[in-house]
Amino acid sequence: MSSSAMRHLISTAQLTDTELGNLVRRGAEFSDGRVRAGEQLAGLVAGIHFLKTSTRTRTSFSAAALRLGAKIISFGPDDLQTNTGETLEDTAEVLSRMLDILVIRTAGDPAHLHALASQQRMAVVNAMTADEHPTQAVADLTTLLSHFGRIEGLRICYVGEGNNTAAALALTLSRFKGVHLELRTPPGYGLDPLVLQRAQANAMDAGATLVELHSMTSPPEKLDVIYATRWRTTGTSKADPDWMDVFTPFRVTTSLWDKSPEAVFLHDLPAHRGEDVSAEVLDGPRSLAFDQAENKMYAAMAVLEWCAGRS
């Protein structure tokens, strides 16, 4: 792949509004069957390197690459010589001479990805770091666009920890006119203040609104979307032994639909029924959680095409 065509996706912040919109529209086109997967990535080789557990993201990128005609090479957490002291820059230089795209999950410091992106031949895709889960946001927005036919003007409430999924949602939804995003996060487990500040600046520019509250009293009204996330974020632990007591009021139950009866339910999965969400909600008629999981593959198709310069 020529260096002029290659693009990294490490953070949604690097995307222009046009690029973000195009990625989401392309994902929706794949999801809705308006575009068929074929040979869009024929001749390319994608590396799939996950240092942490994954069901949806790893499978979605592997399936997306294969369905678009690419070949894949999968690496486990102990497979590369970085474990024996080779620098990330040297590893990247070698991989870039054999791979066209590297999809990597670290669940750690994003500096790891920036080091891998220091070369000029191979696109690097962030499949989750500690601070942001950009491809999850592309999948979530793909789901919203497929279901509602628009993102602009939607009223969305996110309930749970201010984790990397919340960060990606805040940084992307805040760029669409008329969106109202309300984050309900447990005290002490909110969004990173710098992320919140940047997302609120996006919202001001776009004509959206974004607020964060640390209580479930006075539940939100007239929502289009209620979004929950797993309390035990992949690759993390909580120092407070009583953290469950802090999170319990933020469990998503059917009571949230009393003032928003038409709202759909999203969840980035995995879900723990009885913790972050009740079974009645996750398995209920308003839940799009498993459609959302499928859309991770279609969003991955859009991301891989874009990173390869083929869209």
Please state the three-class secondary structure of the chain as a single string: CCCCCCCCECCHHHCCHHHHHHHHHHHHHHHHCCCCCCCCCCCCEEEEEECCCCCHHHHHHHHHHHHCCCEEEEECCCCCHHHHCCCHHHHHHHHHCCCCEEEEECCCCCHHHHHHCCCCCCEEEECCCCCCCHHHHHHHHHHHHHHHCCCCCCEEEEECCCCHHHHHHHHHHCCCCCCEEEEECCCCCCCCHHHHHHHHHHHHHHCCEEEEECCCCCCCCCCCEEEECCCCCCCCCCCCCCHHHHHHHHCECHHHHCCCCCCEEEECCCCCECCCECHHHHCCCCECHHHHHHHHHHHHHHHHHHHCCCC
Low-confidence ranges of the chain (pLDDT < 50): none
Q: Judge: domain 136-293, CATH 3.40.50.720.
A: no
pTM above 0.75, yes or no: yes
At residue 190, the pLDDT reads 96
Question: Structural domain boundaries of the chain?
Answer: 12-132+296-307, 136-293
* The domain over range 12-132+296-307 is classified in CATH as 3.40.50.1370: yes
Report pLDDT for 4: 58
